[in-house]
Chain A
């Protein structure tokens, strides 16, 4: 209670590091520890330790999320398809991802005889690491951000552009026609969908004047007329739809799962992978699912903000905002899973036509109209 009582007022932290320092200070152990390191002349070590703790927490969070998502996907699919899904391992099958992990670790790691061994091994890591790196500028809640980059949005788009290269590497190194075709498709798809994705994100930046994800979220604080939250989805409905479609294409999920397209290309670019390397692709896919949904929430659905969240005691805000953020993100994820169970896959040329002939012109138009309206001062 003392803690809550003392932590009042509008204390906002730039990132989670400062939050941790504040809490340590609050408990009264930051200064003593810092002094010990100071006398040793290595105070930077404390900084490093705190950063490592942050990263460890994020990593564990990401892995748990991924595991939960695999379980959730199966359960949602089962729900839609009128069956139970995993039920045996753990309560309602919650430990299924653990068993899957055990199985995948136990599998033989096969490298095809004619594959490029080095690239073949490198590719899964190149897919997995960017998927985690995207988590860094994501605002999970007020003050809960690893690093508030002032080019956050650019960083996200740039990092997500790495994965097609890794996929191409994987497809090429496998020395398999299906893998190569899957990789080619993935690259074509990623290139044509990153453009509308970025264009509709730029329309948001016109409003905020900043690429920082924290600024974007704070710009969505508050309400119109006291009950409509000031989320960008209401200002940018077309942009939202374009961004959502493009981000589902970015995630590579049905109806746009060309990199995989099981029924056409067996398993697409990871046909030849097995064991832990396969698991890496699998994990990256779900990490992508989470991070892209989180970006949709951040840009269009108000991120962690919620009407009247500022009325709460300041100490509760980080926790509540984290909850709000997760609820919104899981809503978007659920939408993606629901979509996957309902619609068939489009054809690759239809997808590219949609991307180049419809979505990019629309995104440009959206940007133009937004810019015009902003200039004449309607918003």
Chain B
């Protein structure tokens, strides 16, 4: 029995469906129960959270978690489906430390909010950047100009006024 099916047995209500993502067991989880399921997943020996991917499907967001277990040498993929208007899911940073930055990156580029994250702010783009670039509705025709302010903070503008000195 693969780990996705195991999860389905343990959490019949939380796991919406199980399947495969090219040979890797996949389980789609209700977003409210993610934290509970994730705790169980950690107990099952999936100690390595490989990657968190946020995908904008125009009508919905999907967040995909790829796990790997060094002890059992197994893969597991969890997926949550989020509402497009209010993409929020609970953070896994308390379970896997690496999720801290991966979630920040997902927040930064895709704009998914992770509830309970210790330090949810932009990581790759400057603070104050307008929009989330990996969303499909991101407007790429708007130029954004970034300068560094007096105290090292980032200043972003769309008309370039901050580039002029004084």
Do chains A and B directly touch (beta carbons under 8 Å) in the complex? no
